[in-house]
Amino acid sequence: MKDIKVLLVDDEVAFTTSLSRVLIRRGFAVEVSSDGLTGLARIIQGNFDVVVLDVRMPGMNGIQVLSEISRLSLPTRVILLTGHFSLPDEENTLKNGAFAYLLKPYPVLKLVERIENAAAW
C-alpha cells in the first residue's frame, strides 16, 4: 500500500505538531499549514489523499477551503474538525463533499482510522 499523503490545516500549532507525529509514526506522509489560504494553495499544488481542516481559522476558514476544493473538483477527501459544532455547518459541509465533520477534541486513534477510511474511499 502506498503512503497516505495528508495535509493538516489548523492554526493550533500544538494540535498539528502532535497529530503529525502520530501520523508519521504510522507511516503517513504529512504536511502542515497554519491557515486556510496557504492550505488551499498547497492543496492545489500537491496531491493529497486527505486534508484535515479546522473549521474556525482566521482569514479563510475550513468551510471556505472545502467550498473551493469542491468548486475546483480537486481529488482529495476532506475531514473537518471543529470545537464549535453547528448542525447547519455539518449538513452543508457533507453536501459539499466533506468525508466527515467531527467535534474537537476527537480521539486521535479514531481520527487516524477516519483518515485511513477517507483515503481508501
Nearest to 102 by CA among 116, 121, 85: 85
Extents of the domains making up the chain: 5-120
CATH topology of domain 5-120: Rossmann fold (3.40.50)
Q: Predicted confidence band at 14 (pLDDT cuts at 50, 70, 90)?
A: very high
- Choice between 114 and 95, residue whose per-residue pLDDT is larger: 114
What average pLDDT does range 10-15 have in this prediction?
A: 94
**Amino acid 1: pLDDT:** 40
Residues 6+ apart with CB under 8 A from 56: 62, 82, 83, 84
**Amino acid 101: pLDDT:** 93
Model confidence pLDDT, tens digit, residues 18-68: 999 999 999 999 999 999 999 999 999 988 999 999 999 989 999 999 999
Specify whether the CB–CB gap between 42 and 5 falls below 8 A. no
